[in-house]
Amino acid sequence: MNDVVRCLGMPLRSRNHLRASAAMVVAMLTIALLGLASSSAQANDSCNCQANVTRTVTFCIDGTNYTANVDFCEVNYNPPVLGDCSTVLLQNRKSTLRKICFVGTQPIGYTDAQIIGYLLCHIRSTACNVPNEFGFVVPGPPVRRYCWEIKVPKCTMRDNGCIVPCGDCKYCIWAFEWQRAGGVCANTISLRCDGPNCNGQNCTENEGCPVIQCCP
């Protein structure tokens, strides 16, 4: 009670200052809580996100072309954001591979990891071309650079013939960076990968990360 009386007895300016300080503390706490909620949501989205982009892609596997509907969770950034890109660490696009469903003929005798590896080769080799089936092209001057970070599942299974993630949420993250210089469009890649152990029934754990494989 004495504390209340002393507070009420403060000059008006002091009381206003106290109220302003209290309001600032509440605002800072609210922002912090929202930030934690946002970070948690982003973590969940990046792991078990709902695909928002489907692309029909024809790519080569060991000399034969196959067509597949490929689902991604995808976010584009303009301006770019920090990420895993190999030189400037700026990402233009971040995607998570969620499903590969072949249309018509399916490749026989290849592991999920091998198929993903051939798809990654196709992505790497076509990004400089126009038109681009992945919805972007490496820009000319003054930027000359584009970077796409792609998460591919380390643990997979077949669902009605489609390759889908399985078990614990473990991914390998590829960062493809393309640069135009002197009329040449070259690319570099970097990679980091989650640990082993899929911990799910009927999962195929790809040994290491899918290796980029290209047709001769």
Domain boundaries, the chain: 2-41, 51-205
For the stretch 50-99, pLDDT in tens is 889 999 999 999 999 999 999 999 999 989 999 888 778 889 999 999 99
Q: CA-to-CA distance for 62 and 188, rounded, in angstroms?
A: 23
156 bridge partner residues: 165, 204
Contact 85, 147 (CB under 8 A): yes
Q: Find all residues with CB under 8 Å of 76, minimum gap 6, and list them.
A: 92, 93
pTM of the model: 0.74
Contact 24, 37 (CB under 8 A): no
Per-residue pLDDT of the chain (216 residues; tens, 9 = 90+): 433 333 334 444 444 443 444 444 334 433 333 333 333 233 334 566 888 999 999 999 999 999 999 999 999 998 999 988 877 888 999 999 999 999 999 999 999 989 999 999 998 887 776 667 788 878 878 888 899 999 998 888 899 999 998 877 788 888 888 888 777 777 888 888 876 667 666 777 665 677 888 887
Q: CA-to-CA distance for 178 and 89, rounded, in angstroms?
A: 13
Question: What would the DSSP string read from start to end of 136-194?
Answer: -----TTT-EEEEEEEEESEEEEETTEEEE-SS--EEEEEEEEEEETTEEEEEEEEEE-
